[in-house]
A = this chain, B = another copy of it.
Amino acid sequence: MNRSRISILLFLFLAITLLDGHAQSGGKSLAEKLGFARDSKLLIVHADDVGVTHSVNAATIKALDTGLVNSASLMVPCPWFPEIADYAKSHPTVDFGLHLTLTSERVYYRWGPVASKDKVPSLIDENGYFHHDWAATTKINSNKLPVFIARDWFADHPYLESSLTSGDIVLDHTVTIAPSVPPEKWAEFYKTALKNLQPGVTELVIHLAFADDEMKAATRERDTWGAAWRQRDFDFFTSQKFRQLLQEQNIKLVTWRELAHAARQ
């Protein structure tokens, strides 16, 4: 996972305001706080990038309706944010968070900051859009925002663990598919990931859209996280096969909202 994708995966979850310390540094585990046994396999199926296009919105709403996808993050600066904000207002119990958005990574379809451009000159390019990407040396200052961090990342990024405070909550694992998986192995990758799911809370980060004209055009300069990729994710995560795997592997779905509630107890 490159630095750009990490920047895209920093989530600020609206529902979480105060979290009470390192779940596994003593006392109850996250799973136990949620009311499950310590060795339960708990899963958040989280749809990324909502608001970026109509296609992503439509696919995510349809997937949420199945109950198999149960969490999603919204990109506020994107042009289709008003559509999903309207949906969120009429569906107040859906597990939506905010997707911290500091890049505009595509070529033919772009956006800039919500803030006045004068106030955030380092975030924008010469055309006033967010930069396509960030340099590896860019410092991310999250302003004490509660962000999505998983213990899996500590080995590669030791500064994450050392910068944790008593106000932080940390997921146990995260899973997301990589560009190295060929399209025909897509379902197999997820099936294996679900069969090998470890105890604790895992966030599965997925990318939904329909491979329609809008999405193909918005992502046509490269295949990674493109229209076909997102259609494959949609197809798997709204399938009966996925529902059966959850049952067979005794995996329970949980939400960020439940985590926030449990952490406040």
Contact = CB atoms under 8 A, between A and B. Distances in A.
Interface residues of A, number: 28
Contact of A54 (B110, B116, B128, B218): B218
Interface in A51-88: 53-55, 57-58, 79-80, 82-83, 86
Contacts of A86: 107-108
B54 A80 contact: no
B110 A58 contact: no
A111 interface: yes
B110 A82 contact: yes
B128 A108 contact: no
A118 B120 CA distance: 12
A160 interface: no
A217 interface: yes
B217 A58 contact: yes
Contacts of A54: 109, 213-214, 217-218
Contact of A118 (B82, B111, B119): B119
B118 A116 contact: yes
B109 A128 contact: no
A196 B215 CA distance: 42
A82 B107 contact: yes
A213 B58 contact: yes
A58 B118 CA distance: 33
A128 B114 contact: yes
A174 B210 CA distance: 40
Contact of A80 (B55, B82, B109): B109
A55 B214 contact: yes
B109 A79 contact: yes
A223 interface: no
A55 B57 CA distance: 17
Contacts of A109: 54, 79-80, 82-83
23 contacts: A54-B213, A54-B217, A55-B214, A58-B217, A79-B79, A79-B110, A79-B111, A80-B109, A82-B107, A82-B108, A82-B109, A83-B217, A86-B107, A116-B118, A116-B119, A117-B117, A118-B118, A118-B119, A210-B213, A212-B212, A212-B213, A213-B213, A213-B214
Q: Which 8 A/B pairs are nearest by Cβ-Cβ distance?
A: A83-B108, A214-B214, A116-B117, A116-B118, A79-B79, A54-B217, A116-B116, A54-B214
